[in-house]
Copies of this chain bind each other. A is one copy, B any other.
């Protein structure tokens, strides 16, 4: 068992090319019923076996005739025809009798009696007849090899008498999660356990790309066990994915296992994230060691497993659509590694503005929230705010363009609002980014958001929001519409063991407080409370530890790293914590006047004004909707 401590910095393209060159798939083929072949890939060109129609058929409701016997018919010289002798009645699709070669539409026939019809115009040969093979002709190529079968292809195949199609078998893709800490997902996770969910994500992508995922179960961090899992996987599968253990640590066995059983092609690519990936070949089968962090794993999966599956199926890879956006924030990058940055995109005021999400590779939610991916070449130091860049889209542009972008402070009722808006108009979406009240005001000023949730208390006046918005939006007509009044209070462990009631109680010995970030409305409220009580912030242990949302504060209290934080009731409830009310505050939506008066703004207003929305909000607890939807202020 050889040790290899350092990761390489192989350029991604080079690693991909090495892998595809080394792999030689002998793709299996199978014959399946045509009716079951939707989405499958043809293994050969497919030709029609029979013609459709396979007889001359009437294309109209009418009568069939021999054209040459109708040439004397004229308006001034009507021609009488006898049923069974000169004509037969045919409906659309009926076979044409052998002795006939034309059809006259029923509208152009005058019925004299049951057996005698009159025409005043001759028929031309083959008029209104669907000739043999008009739809599909025997011998004709219906679809080429390596074609992904669509519904209409199945129709043409069946019409052409092809009842079974040769298709490329789906490549079997083994998924082997490794890690002693892994457990199947469940509701109650013990300390030290991690639910195994990457495997489900891999399976979903493999399926989407046309492969057959084969989940092989969790294997603990044990060299021999991982080795035997890989050995048995390569026997029956075409591609093997190992998850975690792909780096260079003491328990990272993947590279050693592949090295012993076969050949390591690449260990480490020059990307951020996704660097610690292992690419190798065992018994001619590709084995990919994917990093443990979700974002790294999903990116590396797409870089290596997707082309392998396409290569096996013999189909071309379609790249994601790209779109040009303006950067709302600077995005820095280091030289030497390709950077992949998850981005949100907002279509505000006719412009597409993109902002980076967290670059922490451990945050699955950043992939869920991303609208697209910014790829920064290894030779670049990044981009400045305001620069135009290309972004690969994760969501259709049409959807992004119909999305209202909410910024500012987070509140649980925004999730209800998003749901209600989409329900009112299924073509509209509402997304929200949580950057605090001040961040929200700045987003409106920079044209990056349609609306912002704000609850900023002016220490001098005791008034909410107006003075702040005026200060920063002097040049932009804006409005403030009330969303809710809400209770802020102390979030404390169950039973409130430290008996915290007032801000003075936080000065007790050994009490650790968890604060909110600068610019958050809740932070301002806390500062206001301290000032009123005449307490120096530095007397509060933990004043400088900042978290970014009500839920994170509650999580810190629940996790035991803090004894108290200021936040909203619903956050306390989410973690089963206790809540001591401190103040009621006004939470408004700040919008430009332009958006307020737009179609989207009207949808938002009417949803907020609806009784059903207000009922939902109040049933959460800790909220009052007495002014919800009311215009509080217009500049």
Which positions in A face B, CB cutoff 8 Å? Answer: 34-35, 38, 44-45, 47, 49-56, 59, 61, 91-95, 98, 101, 106, 125-126, 130-146, 150-156, 158-159, 161, 163, 179, 181, 185-189, 191-192, 194-195, 197-198, 200-205, 207-208, 249-251, 292, 294, 298, 310-311, 314-319, 321, 360, 362-365, 367-368, 396, 398-399, 402, 412, 415-416, 418-419, 422-423, 426-429, 545, 549, 551-552, 554-556, 558-561, 570-571, 573-575
The answer on a CB contact under 8 Å between B551 and A137 is yes
The answer on a CB contact under 8 Å between B292 and A93 is yes
Q: When the two chains form the complex, which single residue of B142, B158, B203, B418 contacts A200, counting CB atoms closer than 8 Å?
A: B158
- For the complex, give the distance between the alpha carbons of A368 and B42 in Å: 14
- For the complex, give the distance between the alpha carbons of A560 and B429 in Å: 61
The answer on a CB contact under 8 Å between B151 and A208 is yes
Q: Whole-angstrom distance from the CB of A395 to the nearest CB of chain B? A: 9
- For the complex, give the distance between the alpha carbons of A72 and B156 in Å: 79
The answer on a CB contact under 8 Å between B555 and A153 is no
The answer on a CB contact under 8 Å between B294 and A155 is yes
The answer on a CB contact under 8 Å between B163 and A185 is yes
The answer on a CB contact under 8 Å between A145 and B398 is no
- Which B residues lie within 8 Å of A200 (CB)? 34-35, 151, 154-155, 158
- For the complex, give the distance between the alpha carbons of A164 and B126 in Å: 62
The answer on a CB contact under 8 Å between B189 and A161 is yes
The answer on a CB contact under 8 Å between B575 and A138 is yes
- For the complex, give the distance between the alpha carbons of A612 and B196 in Å: 49
- Which B residues lie within 8 Å of A555 (CB)? 51, 131-133, 137-138
Q: Whole-angstrom distance from the CB of A280 to the nearest CB of chain B? A: 22
CB pairs A–B below 8 angstroms (22 shown): A35-B200, A91-B251, A93-B179, A130-B362, A134-B360, A135-B362, A135-B363, A139-B412, A152-B367, A155-B197, A156-B364, A156-B367, A159-B185, A159-B195, A161-B185, A161-B186, A161-B195, A314-B423, A316-B398, A316-B402, A316-B428, A318-B399
- For the complex, give the distance between the alpha carbons of A321 and B140 in Å: 30
Q: When the two chains form the complex, which single residue of B38, B126, B317, B545 contacts A427, counting CB atoms closer than 8 Å?
A: B317
Q: When the two chains form the complex, which single residue of B140, B186, B201, B202 contacts A365, counting CB atoms closer than 8 Å?
A: B140
- Which B residues lie within 8 Å of A192 (CB)? 55, 94-95
- Which B residues lie within 8 Å of A45 (CB)? 415-416, 418-419
- For the complex, give the distance between the alpha carbons of A150 and B204 in Å: 8
Q: Whole-angstrom distance from the CB of A147 to the nearest CB of chain B? A: 9
The listed residue with most B CB atoms (<10 A of its CB), out of A364, A554, A573, is: A364
Chain B residue nearest to A367 (CB atoms) is B152
7 closest pairs, A vs B, by CB? Answer: A139-B574, A151-B204, A158-B197, A155-B201, A133-B555, A132-B559, A158-B185
- Which B residues lie within 8 Å of A415 (CB)? 45, 47, 141, 144
The answer on a CB contact under 8 Å between A161 and B187 is yes
- Which B residues lie within 8 Å of A152 (CB)? 201, 204, 298, 364, 367-368
Q: Whole-angstrom distance from the CB of A33 to the nearest CB of chain B? A: 10
The answer on a CB contact under 8 Å between A197 and B419 is no
- For the complex, give the distance between the alpha carbons of A573 and B584 in Å: 87
- Which B residues lie within 8 Å of A51 (CB)? 555, 558
Q: Whole-angstrom distance from the CB of A493 to the nearest CB of chain B? A: 14
Q: Whole-angstrom distance from the CB of A341 to the nearest CB of chain B? A: 16
The answer on a CB contact under 8 Å between B181 and A93 is yes
- Which B residues lie within 8 Å of A201 (CB)? 151-152, 154-155
The answer on a CB contact under 8 Å between B145 and A422 is yes
Q: Whole-angstrom distance from the CB of A27 to the nearest CB of chain B? A: 11
- For the complex, give the distance between the alpha carbons of A369 and B419 in Å: 41
- Which B residues lie within 8 Å of A321 (CB)? 321
Given contacts A95-B192, A144-B419, A161-B187, contact A56 B205 (CB under 8 A): no
- For the complex, give the distance between the alpha carbons of A429 and B396 in Å: 26
The answer on a CB contact under 8 Å between B50 and A189 is yes
